[in-house]
Amino acid sequence: MPGKPLQVFISVIRRELLLAIRHGADSCMIVSFFLIVVILFLLGVGPEPGILSRISAGIIWVSALLSVMLSMDRLFQPDYEDGSLDLLILSSLPLELIVLAKIFSHWLTTGFPLIIISPLLALFLNMGTPGYSTLLIALVLGTPTLSLVGAIGAALILGARRSGVLLSVLILPLFIPIMIFGVSAVDAALTNVSSKPPLLMLGALLLTALVLCPWASAAALRQAAE
Amino acid sequence: MFNYFANPFRFLRLTSKLQPITMLVALAAIGLGLFYALVESPPDYQQSETVRIMYVHVPAAWMAMFCYVTIACSSAVALIWRHMLANIIAKSTAPIGASFTFLALATGSLWGKPMWGAWWVWDARLTSMLILFFLYLGYIVLYNAFDDQSRGARAAAILSIVGVINIPIIKFSVDWWNTLHQPASVIKINGPTVHPSMLTPLMLMAVGYMALYFWLLFIRTRAELNINKVRKMLIQQTETH
């Protein structure tokens, strides 16, 4: 029996979270990847505190971008492989909303842990104290946008050859604007300029992506399941 | 018109007539445009001779955006009406558009070195143009990433429609942000602010590039349609044996 829309929405989120918890290693792997990329930057650039604090925001954002990108393939791929995608398309809830529920749970299991661990990384990178709160706000506004935009790419590559590399070619260019505003917000805070304009831009990007991305990903999923 | 061209043979018949015309227009306009651009037009009072790069650079950038919008529009037509020809036009436009984008980026870089003192600056116009180039590459790669051609066509079509958001960003990047790149001076509400002696070669080059695009497009679409025909004949052959 089809449930009420809200019930279905919540049950999709619950299913996704349950799957993420059962495969607990996934979220840990994303966070470890995030850490390792930052450490690679640290080792590559060298431990000079002045340089590190200058580029800290950029390193954290690039690492977050790569981590989210790597985690994108598990958003739709397992459902596509085991056939549950067809059931989700047939459900009483519009596919756009199901996609939104999936993206939300994806963000809770990947973007959110990244936000929690980011102050620690900012500490590693010798970021100035005024940058911390702005970095957190920028990540809270930016990482959901990354998940939303990435979902389009994840839906488009279902069934493609060499899908991993393909995904990065498709979505990393689309991630660029989010990263630019995210980094410039933190840089503004560090240089005592108002970080409000870039943060507002991040918010605008989030709202736009919230409206358009589920729609585009749903269209891509439908053609993949055809 | 959509239904009329649903028959590829009509399209082939029409383009076989148009192809030599576009070729002549392209060669004539680019030839004449280059003569005006390199010989007849005056050097700029500030940029001196390097301003001549503009006649190659600006129309290429226009065509880069035009080709992308063409891909997106024909992709929408292909998705909504399952129009076979629209897919082929989108597919054939992509490498041409990518080449125009590359040309705009490369000539811009050559122009940037003497004017700005750097081959490349990370301002909004250049960055959004670079994203456009990556969108073209992503489109081409995605189109060919599936064993089933029609899957690739539909996935790439959705990607191209998503990427359209970049086009107004490119257009208005020079107004929204303080960029090193100069703002628009030809396509303006009050008319162009370019002197006729420079506008003439610019427009000739623009017409030439447009004709060149259609010429190449006709060659590519006709080849594409012929490939499809050969494929069908091969399938029929194997079935009869």
CATH of B4-240, one of 1.10.1760, 1.20.120, 1.10.238, 1.10.760: 1.20.120
Strand partners, B44: B48
Q: How many CB atoms lie within 10 A of CB A123?
A: 11
Q: Span A131-149, mean pLDDT?
A: 94
Q: Which residue from B131, B135, B142 is facing A156, i.e. has the nearest CB?
A: B142
Residue A164: predicted pLDDT? 80
With CB atoms and an 8 Å threshold, state whether B151 touches A216. Answer: no
Least confident of A16-30, A165-179, B59-73: A16-30
Residue B117: what are its φ and ψ, rounded to 5°? Answer: 80, 10
> CB of A168 within 8 Å of any CB in chain B?
no
Report the distance separating Cα A172 and Cα A180, nearest Å: 12
Residue A91: predicted pLDDT? 85
Residue among A156, A167, A187 with most chain B CBs within 10 A, to mutate = A156
Q: Do A144 and A111 contact (CB within 8 A), yes or no?
A: yes
Report the distance separating Cα B75 and Cα B103, nearest Å: 24
Residue A46: predicted pLDDT? 84
> CB of A204 within 8 Å of any CB in chain B?
no
> Where are any strands of DSSP class E within chain A?
none
Residue A176: its chain B contacts at CB < 8 A? 127, 131
pLDDT at A53 over 80: yes
Q: How many CB atoms lie within 10 A of CB B65?
A: 20
Residue A2: predicted pLDDT? 57
Residue A136: predicted pLDDT? 94
Per-residue model confidence as pLDDT tens digits over B199-230: 888 999 999 999 999 999 999 999 999 998 89
Domain positions in chain B are: 4-240
Least confident of B92-106, B113-127, B146-160: B113-127
ipTM of the complex: 0.83
Per-residue model confidence as pLDDT tens digits over A62-117: 999 999 998 888 889 888 988 888 888 888 888 999 999 999 999 999 999 999 99
